[in-house]
Amino acid sequence: MTDNKQGKRPLRSTQWFGERDKNGFMYRSWMKNQGIPEHHFQGKPVIGICNTWSELTPCNAHFRDLADRVRRGILEAGGVPVEFPVFSNGESNLRPTAMLTRNLAAMDVEESIRGNPIDGVVLMTGCDKTTPALMMGAASCDLPALVVTGGPMLNGKHRGQDVGSGTLVWNLHEDYKAGRITLDEFMDAEAGMSRSTGTCNTMGTASTMACVAEAMGMSLPGSAAIPAVDSRRYANAYVSGMRIVEMIKEDLKPSDIMTRASFINAIRTIAAVGGSTNTTIHMKALAQRVGVPLSLDDWQTYGQPVPTIVDLLPSGRYLMEEFYYAGGLPPVLRRLGEAELLEKGAMTVTGKTLWDNNRSAECFNDEVIRPLDNPLCASGGICIVRGNLAPRGAVLKPSSASPELMKHRGRAVVFEDFEHYKARIMDPDLDVDRNSVMVLKNCGPKGYPGMAEVGNMGLPPKLLKQGVTDMVRISDARMSGTAFGTVVLHVTPEARELGPLAAVEDGDWIVLDAEGGELRVELSEEELARRLELVRQKLPIARVGGYMQLYLEHVLQADEGCDFDFLVGCRGAKVPAHSH
């Protein structure tokens, strides 16, 4: 095999296939049992297609066909495609939560890339955690990599209306609990919500992470919003396969693309599209893999001044199909750039800057992608709050919250864990009113191992029947990007780590001031310390074994990205010498 065009280094795969000796004989011979011809071992880059296809991950169920288009593109450009599977952690089926196994998937990806004879990799991502997991694993190897997202499903349809996946569930379930619809009416919406393969068609975590990949320059321009079943999604996969071959010749790596400037662009983009709070965790974990400094303060500094201009559920009205037809992410990036809200010189997988890729983008619908002077929300970034209840921070999504609750003082109604919440919330005698603050504990990374999406607690039926539609809710959990409400999440440190949240009791007064960045409980330091000591004495000792034990012993807190402490950093692609 030959060097790349710049002559910076020989193709990595030559370590396996380039020697005319015993080891080269064996590596080539074993690969030839698949019918690979001799000339594919002579000067051609080997491209891994890292595939998260699984019938248990419905969002990614079309990836066999999509990967085939990537394969065709690689072949046309003169590369040798080799597809390999990695752990597919689908949010919809995997219990207790796909977040528990995000790091496991990232480990799988990293070791698969490093240990195999590949020169670059195409990352097939879609469902929520597959995008950050594959990007994290690839970043820690730092071989040329390009993200191909699977795209959102078609608009849901129910009773003549367009409905959003995920968001419809939260809405209708509250209607059912309030007695406004019957159980049969609730179940009738089931088939119409998800009527094609693909990710959630709202601006949930999957679509937000697709926008992150594009805004960071890790996927081709215009790729984030293409519907999963649109023929243009397959064309995008094809040209992505072609492009990765050129990236290897140019030696264009994740570390060249995922710079601090690209992370700032992603933060601003998330604000503009009304993206998921989950991205605060995933982007921190990713930044740590490439050695880029990133903190929750950056979300305030760079995200808060940016208005939300994409009018999509759960914050707005439309769905991902309309977003794509309006032009997708490129006109959003153009509008940010024209307002000097973009780091224009950030490099991308095209070999050009983000601004060069998007400066001429057109918007075809100003209702879906609004002008900056007519935003959905004037300050759209993820809001960070701190105080004696969240010393290391907590997050709130202003674009999906109720403005009148963004500054609020109320009595706490406390649920010690999610099982306690389920047992208590339906009680008609629950001591709660519309001004109460619902508090959920022990649902953070260690408390509910994996930090499940239970932070958007459904409201008490007794209040729903009174017409209450939102309340302040606080927890150390996450929530689905498809969810909505005045929900404070990722309280850090979590209750299981003896964060102050663990000390809150029914009746305590809690103050939220989103604009002032404050979240506190009206208790003295001495009282907090006294209560936390009582909690500490009752903490269970976790001895569960297996992967769960590894997780509990090594997972970092939410403000640190929930990565494993031993996975932080880039370990490169160097591999030990021949083992035969």
3 strand-pairing partners: 10
Could you give the domains of the chain?
A: 45-154+196-358 (3.40.50.2300), 157-193 (no CATH), 383-540 (3.50.30.80)
**Tens digit of pLDDT for each residue in 213-226?**
999 999 999 999 99
| Predicted local confidence at residue 580, as pLDDT | 62
| Predicted local confidence at residue 578, as pLDDT | 65
| Predicted local confidence at residue 177, as pLDDT | 87
| 8 A C-beta contact, residue 66 and residue 99 | no
Rg of the chain (C-alpha set): 24
Q: Is the pLDDT of residue 349 over 90?
A: yes
Beta strand segments in 323-406, E? 383-387, 390-396
| Predicted local confidence at residue 126, as pLDDT | 97
Closest CA to 127 of 160, 108, 107, 102: 102
**Tens digit of pLDDT for each residue in 40-52?**
998 899 999 999 9
Rounded to an integer, what distance in angstroms lies between the CA atom of residue 283 and that of residue 452?
A: 18
Closest CA to 124 of 154, 102, 153, 151: 151
Closest CA to 484 of 473, 494, 497: 473
**Tens digit of pLDDT for each residue in 531-551?**
999 999 988 877 789 999 999
469 CA to centre of own chain: 27
| 8 A C-beta contact, residue 346 and residue 353 | yes
pLDDT mean over 435-454 = 96
Q: Tell me what the pLDDT averaged over the chain comes to.
A: 95
Closest CA to 92 of 197, 219, 171, 228: 197
Which residue matches tokens 């921190």?
284
Helix residue ranges per DSSP H, 77-158: 102-115, 130-139
| Ramachandran sector of residue 477 (left: φ over 0; alpha: ψ -120 to 50; beta: rest) | beta
Which residue matches tokens 């193709």?
11
3-state SS class at 32: helix
**Tens digit of pLDDT for each residue in 288-324?**
999 999 999 999 999 999 999 999 999 999 999 999 9
Nearest-5° angle of CA 488, CA 367, CA 275? 25
pLDDT mean over 346-350 = 98
- The amino acid present at 491, given as its one-letter code, is V
Rounded to an integer, what distance in angstroms lies between the CA atom of residue 490 and that of residue 499?
A: 11
Q: pLDDT class for 1, splitting at 50, 70, 90?
A: very low
Residue that wins the pLDDT comparison between 175 and 140: 140
Q: pLDDT class for 165, splitting at 50, 70, 90?
A: confident
pLDDT mean over 18-28 = 92
Burial class (CB in 10 A: 0-12, 13-18, 19+), 578: middle
pLDDT mean over 568-578 = 88
Q: pLDDT class for 170, splitting at 50, 70, 90?
A: confident
Return the percentage of the chain with pLDDT > 70, whole number.
98
SS3 content of the chain, % helix, strand, coil (to 5): 40, 15, 45
| Predicted local confidence at residue 8, as pLDDT | 54
pLDDT mean over 414-433 = 96
pLDDT mean over 95-105 = 96
| Predicted local confidence at residue 576, as pLDDT | 80
Return the percentage of the chain with pLDDT > 90, whole number.
88
Residue that wins the pLDDT comparison between 444 and 7: 444
505 CA to centre of own chain: 32
Show the tokens assigned to 319. 């769905």
Give the count of beta carbons closer than 10 Å to the beta carbon of residue 42. 11
| 8 A C-beta contact, residue 424 and residue 418 | no
Closest CA to 465 of 171, 177, 184: 177
Which strands sit side by side in the sheet containing 120-125, from one edge to the other? Answer: 80-85, 46-51, 120-125, 145-149
| Predicted local confidence at residue 579, as pLDDT | 61
| Predicted local confidence at residue 291, as pLDDT | 97
256 CA to centre of own chain: 22
Q: Is the pLDDT of residue 79 over 70?
A: yes
**Tens digit of pLDDT for each residue in 398-411?**
998 999 999 999 99
| 8 A C-beta contact, residue 396 and residue 385 | yes
Q: Is the pLDDT of residue 2 over 50?
A: no
Give the count of beta carbons closer than 10 Å to the beta carbon of residue 477. 29
Closest CA to 216 of 251, 248, 264: 264
Rounded to an integer, what distance in angstroms lies between the CA atom of residue 443 and that of residue 378?
A: 31
Lowest-confidence region among 2-6, 24-28, 254-258, 487-491: 2-6
